[in-house]
């Protein structure tokens, strides 16, 4: 059981790093840099990302990360009852992290991924204002990811 817990935790943390790190990179490095490039370069980068199905990869990794967090907290962790979930500091923090994770998956799928066509049109038209609005969607995701990260730290200390 210990090896399963180690493997699940390792994969969960790796997925979280990929999801959070990718969003940080896209928000603060890639997005602003791309907006400085000429329109032809913007189009080429955006098309390459869509061709490589970047949103699907991020969503898949995020979903697996949340699923592994559920497994780690319940089957391989202390959250075995509704009483524990709602009646202990750890359970409450774990529940908040779960709600944030599920909310971010929904946000990513229904808002960020769904606006890919609008972003494509903004890139085509070299509309930096529209591209900035798209980047703001990533900021919402980042706030949620910072919340989840904070919950992970708190849970490490039993809170």
Instruction: Using CB atoms within 10 Å of the CB of residue 86, give its burial: 0 to 12 exposed, 13 to 18 middle, 19+ buried.
Output: exposed
Q: How many domains, the chain?
A: 1
Residues in the chain: 159
pLDDT in tens, 31-40: 888 888 887 8
Mean pLDDT confidence for 3-32: 93
pLDDT, mean of residues 11-30: 93
Residue 113 has pLDDT above 80, yes or no: no
Segment 145-157, tens digit of pLDDT: 999 999 999 999 9
Range of the domain at 23: 2-156
């Amino acid at each position: 059981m210990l090896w399963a817990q180690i493997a699940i935790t390792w994969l969960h943390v790796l997925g979280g790093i990929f999801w959070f790190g990718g969003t940080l990179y896209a928000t603060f490095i890639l997005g602003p840099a791309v907006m400085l490039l000429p329109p032809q370069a913007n189009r080429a980068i955006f098309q390459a990302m869509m061709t490589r199905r970047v949103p699907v990869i991020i969503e898949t990794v995020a979903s697996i990360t949340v699923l592994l967090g559920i497994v780690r907290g319940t089957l391989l962790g202390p959250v075995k009852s509704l009483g524990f979930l709602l009646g202990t500091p750890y359970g409450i923090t774990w529940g908040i992290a779960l709600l944030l994770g599920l909310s971010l998956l929904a946000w990513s799928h229904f808002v960020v991924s769904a606006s890919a066509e609008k972003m494509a049109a903004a890139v085509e038209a070299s509309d930096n204002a529209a591209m900035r609005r798209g980047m703001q969607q990533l900021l919402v995701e980042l706030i949620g990811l910072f919340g989840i990260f904070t919950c992970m730290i708190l849970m490490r200390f039993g809170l």
